[in-house]
Amino acid sequence: MKAFATLLERLVLTPSRNRKMEIIRDYCASRPDPYRGYAIGAITGDLKLKSVQPSLLRELMTQRIDAELFRLSYDYVGDLAETVSLLWGPAETAEAPPPLSQVVEMLSSASKSDTPAILSGLLDAMDVSSRYALIKLATGGLRIGVSARLAKQALAEFGNVKIEEIEELWHGLEPPYSSLFAWLDGSGAKPVAAGRAPFRPVMLSNAIEERELEDITPADFLAEWKWDGIRIQLVSDRGKRRIYSRTGEDISPAFPDLVEAMAFEGTFDGELLVRSPLGEPLAIRTFSDLQQRLNRKIVPKGMLSSHPAFARLYDCLLDGENDLREQNLEQRRNALAMIVDRLPPERFDLSPEVSFTSVDDLRDKRANPPHPVIEGLMLKRRQSTYRSGRPRGLWYKWKRDPMVIDAVLMYAQRGHGKRSGYYSDFTFGAWRDGETGMELVPVGKAYFGFTDAELKQLDKYVRKNTTERFGPVRSVAAGMDGGLVLEIAFEGINRSNRHKSGVAMRFPRISQIRWDKPAAEADRLEALEALIGD
Amino acid sequence: MRPDALLHPAPQGLYCPPGDFYIDPVRPVERALITHGHADHARAGHGAVMATQRTLDIMAIRYGDEFAGSVHPARFGETTNVNGASVTFHPAGHVLGSAQIAVEKNGTRIVVSGDYKRRPDPTAEHFELAKCDVFITEATFGLPVFNHPDAATEIGKLLSSLDQFPDRTHLVGAYALGKAQRVIRLLRDSGYDRPIHIHGSLQRLCDYYRLEGIELGDLRPATLAEGAKNAGRDFAGEIVLGPPSAFNSPWVRRFSDPLIAFASGWMQVRQRAKQRGVELPLVISDHCDWNELTASIRDTGAAEVWVTHGREEGLVRWCELNQIRAKPLNIVGYEDENE
Ligand SMILES: [Zn+2]
Ligand SMILES: [Zn+2]
Mind listing the pLDDT tens digit for each residue in B111-166? Answer: 999 999 999 999 999 999 999 999 999 999 999 999 999 999 999 999 999 998 89
The answer to whether the Cβ–Cβ distance between B247 and A421 falls below 8 Å is yes
Q: Where in chain A are all domains bearing CATH 3.30.470.30?
A: 206-399
Q: Which residues touch A452 (CB under 8 Å, ≥6 apart)? A: none
Domains in chain B (CATH in brackets) are: 3-145+287-328 (3.60.15.10), 151-282 (3.40.50)
Burial (CB count <10 Å: 0-12, 13-18, 19+), residue B145:
buried
Question: Residue B247: what are its φ and ψ, rounded to 5°?
Answer: -75, -15
pLDDT score of A196 more than 60: yes
CA distance B35 to B26: 13
Whether A106 and A122 have beta carbons less than 8 Å apart is answered as: yes
Give the residue-averaged pLDDT of A219-232.
95
CATH superfamily of A404-529: Nucleic acid-binding proteins (2.40.50.140)
Say yes or no: A247 contacts chain B, CB-CB below 8 A: no
Output Rg (C-alpha) for chain B, integer angstroms.
21
pLDDT score of B336 more than 50: no
**Residues of B in Cβ contact (< 8 Å) with A20:** none
Separation of CA B177 and ligand 1 centre (Å): 9
Q: Where in chain A are all domains bearing CATH 1.10.3260.10?
A: 2-139
Whether A168 and A325 have beta carbons less than 8 Å apart is answered as: no
3-state secondary structure of B281: strand
Question: Long-range contacts: A450-459, Cβ < 8 Å, 24+?
Answer: A450/A510, A450/A513, A454/A510, A454/A513, A455/A419, A455/A422, A455/A424, A456/A422, A457/A513, A458/A412, A458/A423, A458/A424, A458/A426, A458/A513, A459/A422, A459/A423, A459/A424
What does the pLDDT look like over A399-442, one tens digit per residue?
888 888 999 999 999 887 667 778 999 999 999 998 888 899 99
- Please report the residues numbered 497 through 526 in chain A whose beta carbons come closer than 8 angstroms to any beta carbon of chain B: none
CA distance A379 to A120: 59
Q: Which of A72, A128, A447 to mutate to test the interface with B (most CBs of B within 10 A)?
A: A72
3-state secondary structure of A26: helix
Q: Which CATH class is domain A206-399?
A: alpha beta
What's the CA angle centered on B279, arms B276 and B282, to 5 degrees?
90
The answer to whether the Cβ–Cβ distance between A86 and B145 falls below 8 Å is yes
pLDDT score of B44 more than 80: yes
CA distance A148 to A136: 16
What does the pLDDT look like over A134-164, one tens digit per residue?
999 998 877 787 888 999 999 999 999 999 8
CA distance B259 to chain A (A): 8
Q: Where in chain A are all domains bearing CATH 2.40.50.140?
A: 404-529
Q: Which amino acid is at B174?
A: A
Which-ligand-closest: CA of B38? 1
Who among A68, A69, A79 is closest to B271 (CB)?
A79
- pTM of the model as a whole: 0.72
Who among A12, A76, A420 is closest to B270 (CB)?
A12
Give Cα separations from A138 to A28, A128, A177, B246 (angstroms): 22, 15, 20, 40
The ipTM is 0.94
Question: Which helix (H) or strand (E) covers residue A299, if one does?
Answer: none
Q: Which CATH class is domain A2-139?
A: mainly alpha
The answer to whether the Cβ–Cβ distance between A472 and B275 falls below 8 Å is yes
Kindly indicate the confidence band of residue A96, based on its pLDDT and cuts at 50, 70 and 90. confident
Furthest CA-CA distance within chain B: 69
Who among A78, A86, A420 is closest to B252 (CB)?
A420
* Closest chain B residue to the Cα of A416, Cα to Cα: B277
Q: Which amino acid is at B238?
A: E
Q: Which residues touch A16 (CB under 8 Å, ≥6 apart)? A: A416, A417
DSSP string of A191-231, one letter each residue = PP--SSS---PPB--EEPPGGGGGG--TTTEEEEEEESSEE
CA distance B31 to B236: 50
Q: In what order do the strands lie in the sheet with B31-33?
A: B8-10, B13-16, B21-23, B31-33, B46-52, B68-74
Whether A39 and A159 have beta carbons less than 8 Å apart is answered as: no
CA distance A93 to A9: 23
* Closest chain B residue to the Cα of A419, Cα to Cα: B253
